[in-house]
Amino acid sequence: MQLYNTLSAEERAIMIDDAGKQRLTLSFYAYAKIQDPQKFRNDLFIAWNALDALGRIYVAHEGINAQMSVPAENFEAFRETLEAYDFMKGIRLNVAVEQDDHSFLKLTIKVRHKIVADGLNDDTFDVTNIGVHLKAKEFNEILDDPNTIVVDFRNHYESEVGHFKGAITPDVETFRESLPIINEQLKDYKEDKNLVMYCTGGIRCEKASAYFKRQGFKNVYQLEGGIINYAKQLKEEGLESKFIGKNFVFDNRLGERITDDIISQCHQCGKPCDNHTNCENDGCHLLFIQCDECKAAMENCCSTECLEIIHMPLVDQVRLRTGKQVGNKVFRKGKSENLKFKHSGDLPETALATAQKQADIRQKIKVKKVLLGKAEHYYVKAQVGQFTVENHELNSGDKILISGPTTGDQELVLDKIIVNGAETQSAKIGDKVTFEVPFRIRLSDKLYKIVN
């Protein structure tokens, strides 16, 4: 039986759009003793694939850690697949604050040594002896206690765009780095201070709280359900948010807004911005913050070096990467000398700007369409867009749709197209096509042909 994906992300995105049904982005975790993680993984894949559930899931002998997208109409059926296991009966599902039908485009379930890479030897402490769980109201109250030390157990690129006021925000790239650093920083406060911790969904604090109790901390607390659940309770109970900014999330959204405050800057020009992106150069793929203006000027790249590389023939790009180990920049989360306005460690709590509200963040498309390709460049003065045709054919006279999270959905009829530098009537797979566009396009935009 097939237990893996066969559709590309682009094909899945089209299927989601064509279905026109709401999807819910959610996350959950559970620590439990799983005797056969591989069988557990396979059983979940079969059950979830049948429900059109997508996501990134890790399973191990110690439990499960999942971030997923589920059709709203299948939500209860999905919950039933979880509660078929005793250790997941009544499990809390952290439903995202902001929904996006494209948050996940594949179902990936991997068996790992651990569900969170913490670097700890679990035999040296009782992983079930965890800290006191606090709901949003209780968390706000303990933050007001002058005897409290609050620690952010996320990584620097997460805390940079949003964090709790007064929190210690370690300058680390991984969870395992933060544990000994925090232990050393707080070694003199084990007896009398409230050690209060938080993370995105709660899973890192679950293990960290047990670890710090073993280190001798007497008063250990953790935010129940993490920032995601905190934001949900704020809305339900009308509470004040002591979190400022945006919550980084590990799906295609790369963040969900908790408050309208922008506290970070574009890493290239310094403009107030909290939108993460990955460098367009596949040999770099650096995660960094980039505003729309720099995205257009740098074509989604983190540096002029990467900008030059993406314009090389693909065979030359592959040659540059061949045989190289992961370097200092590749896949590192915002650690590059090219990023002039990067901040980590002690972070500001003053807003630099206010985010513009979006009417609808879901990328729903109401028309029948087929994916043609993606945006490559926008010539500002000429108001001309360039696209690469990756599927089907494009012809003069076709009705098209340009769609993206910032651009929205824009329909056009093509009067004239330029293909590989010459005016012609049609473009085929692999061609570079340019045409007039009466609005700015971005590299995240997709080109579709409307067929109905």
Active site residues: 199
Of 337, 331, 284, which is closest to residue 306 (Cα–Cα)? 284
Q: Find the angle CA(230)-CA(235)-CA(238) to the nearest 5 degrees.
A: 105
3-state secondary structure of 436: strand
d(CA 55, CA 100): 13
Alpha-carbon dihedral of residues 12, 111, 64, 56, nearest 10 degrees?
-20
Backbone CA torsion sign across 16, 18, 24, 30: negative
Beta carbons of 169 and 244 less than 8 angstroms apart:
no
Q: What is the amino acid identity at position 293?
A: E
Which residues, at least 6 apart from 155, have a Cβ–Cβ distance to it below 8 Å? 172, 173, 174, 175, 178, 333
Task: Write out the DSSP string of 104-135.
Answer: --SEEEEE-S-SS-----GGGS-TT---EEE-
Task: For the chain, report the end-to-end CA distance as a whole number of angstroms.
Answer: 36
Mapped onto helix, strand or coil, the DSSP state of residue 243 is strand
Distance CA 41, CA 374 (A): 34
Q: Which amino acid is at 253?
A: R
| Cβ burial, residue 252 (10 Å; 0-12/13-18/19+) | middle
Q: Please give the angle made by the CA atoms of 392, 398 and 404, to the nearest 5 degrees.
A: 75
Pairwise CA distance, residues 93 & 80, whole Å? 12
**Residue written as tokens 């028309």?**
367
Smallest Cα–Cα separation from 74: which of 55, 89, 53, 90? 53
